[in-house]
Amino acid sequence: MNRRTHWDEVYRAKSAVSVSWYRPHLELSLELIERYAGSLQAAILDIGGGASTLVDDLLGAGFEDVTVLDLAEGALAVSQERLGEVARSVRWIAADFLQAEVEEQRYDICHDRAVFHFLGSAEERERYMDRVRRMLRPGGVLVLATFALDGPERCSGLPVSRYDEAGLMQVVGERFGLVESRRQSHVTPSGQTQELMYFVLRRSTSTDRVG
């Protein structure tokens, strides 16, 4: 089963508020984006944003250039319906991030709480990091949330990768510098606790790599 089929089936089988990763508001994501965005004109890309309410809170905070990318069209439809007419002010992209068209230096902030830790091969992780780096403007920031080392080993029936600072930076290499990291205990809708790590990574200024 490919990724698109898997996530389409997840959102057909469950409501957006019952999946394990659901939070009414991504408070830490919003805090970090506001801290590093620089201004409300900052261009923000939410990778795997799907049905997340982060887009609602970004618009509510006054951000004017928000893009949400997800390969599950059903998840995007949930957000669009929830936002109503306001959804017209958001750019929606239904695509697999690893296959999506790369817009060179388009964004000031990329945010991901949904995609990176599902990438199972070193090749996919390399491609992901190269693509994010190419999409960010000089000095741009990736706000990345993953499962912590003591977090779950599987999510939504799929194996996941878990990270601390040292493990993530082995993957990142020289493409980004680690600005800060934060730990979060996420309580799922069923009442279980999952340990997450948030990383803020700033795009390096060395020559871009082709991915």
pLDDT at 6: 60
pTM, full prediction: 0.89
pLDDT at 2: 74
pLDDT at 95: 93
pLDDT at 210: 41
List, run by run, the mean pLDDT of 10-residue segments along the chain (211 residues): 64 65 88 97 96 96 97 92 97 94 95 92 95 96 96 81 96 95 90 93 71 41
Sign of CA dihedral 13, 83, 134, 140: negative
Assign domain 3-203 one CATH number from 3.40.190.10, 3.40.50.300, 3.30.2230.10, 3.40.50.150.
3.40.50.150
* Count of other CB atoms within 10 angstroms of residue 122: 9
Domain boundaries, the chain: 3-203
